[in-house]
Amino acid sequence: MNNNLMIFENPEFGELRSLRMNGEPWFVGRDVAMALGYGKGKSLNNAVSKHVDDEDKGVTEMMTPGGKQNVIIINESGLYALVLSSKLERAKKFKRWVTAEVLPSIRKHGAYMTDALLSRMDEHHELISEYIGKLRAENAKANAAREALKKAEAENARLAPKASYYDSFVGVESVTCLRYTAKELGVPQKKFIGYLLEKGYVFRDRHRSDRVFVRAGKRNDPLFVTRDFYLPNGTKSEYTLVTPAGKAHFLKIAEKIRVWEPRELAEGKDASEQAVFAACV
């Protein structure tokens, strides 16, 4: 069991247990995960397993309220990985607390200078040079970790809007019919279908004006897919679905679609009214 256990208390984040191993700070993984809102119980260790690389975590024996137990611990890089993966606003505040208070407290004697090391340095002056070398290496490592975190946070901020869009709107292998796509875009269904008709994305079936089909062409190929189905009389037909690429395309011009006004067609009515049934099957 490690005897270098240090416990830090914070009114917002609770208890954070830390220890020194081979001159580096390590933290109890579940303490970090709990402070960052990863849930309770098993979900805390699951979060560590999911977000922290194997080389940044380990297991050590520690005294707990339930007796001696093996607990998962993570190093400084592992802690930053959990910070970056947390969806809580307070994750940045937690990181500031750790970097401004916890780590400096652990490092207040440089490269973890203990009483035993101080006594040895009094007796062996050559240890001073060794200590300075370790301190410089530790400072360089800490600076590199902070710089990597800063770059990762900047990259996360750059990608956040796009990631949020794909998570909540597009999804993986997500295709939707015209009706639901219009709803996702916040555009009235009739106006969306009318726009597609007028701009040549789709065309009406000559024999059944309530159905629309994708117009062939390179522009449309990535935007739509079709699916076959059978009418009650056994006749085979197809309906149109919008792909993730199509959703991204129409999202860019959604405002243009909202303000678009349809032309009166030869039949004297908006073609989108006749295409309602074709929107979803």
Mean pLDDT of the chain: 76
- Residue for token pair 């690429």: 245
SS3 of 97-154: HHHHHHHHHHCCCCCCCCHHHHHHHHHCCHHHHHHHHHHHHHHHHHHHHHHHHHHHHH
From CA 90, how far away is CA 37, in angstroms rounded? 9
pLDDT band at 209 (very low <50, low <70, confident <90, very high): low
What percent of the chain lies above the pLDDT cut of 90?
12
pLDDT attached to residue 239: 78
Q: Hey, what are 29's tokens?
A: 């993984």
pLDDT attached to residue 271: 46
pLDDT attached to residue 48: 92
Pick from 45-49, 54-58, 155-159: least confident: 155-159
From CA 204, how far away is CA 178, in angstroms rounded? 14
Using DSSP, state whether 226 is helix, strand or coil: strand
The pLDDT tens digits for 77-127 are: 889 889 888 888 888 889 888 888 888 777 664 444 445 555 555 555 565
Domains annotated for the chain, with CATH where assigned, are 1-106 (3.10.260), 109-170 (no CATH), 176-279 (no CATH)
Please give the angle made by the CA atoms of 36, 41 and 46, to the nearest 5 degrees: 70
pLDDT attached to residue 267: 44
> Is this structure's pTM higher than 0.75?
no
The pLDDT tens digits for 218-247 are: 666 788 888 877 666 777 777 788 988 888
The pLDDT tens digits for 240-275 are: 889 888 888 999 998 999 999 877 543 444 444 444
The residue-averaged pLDDT of 49-59 equals 90
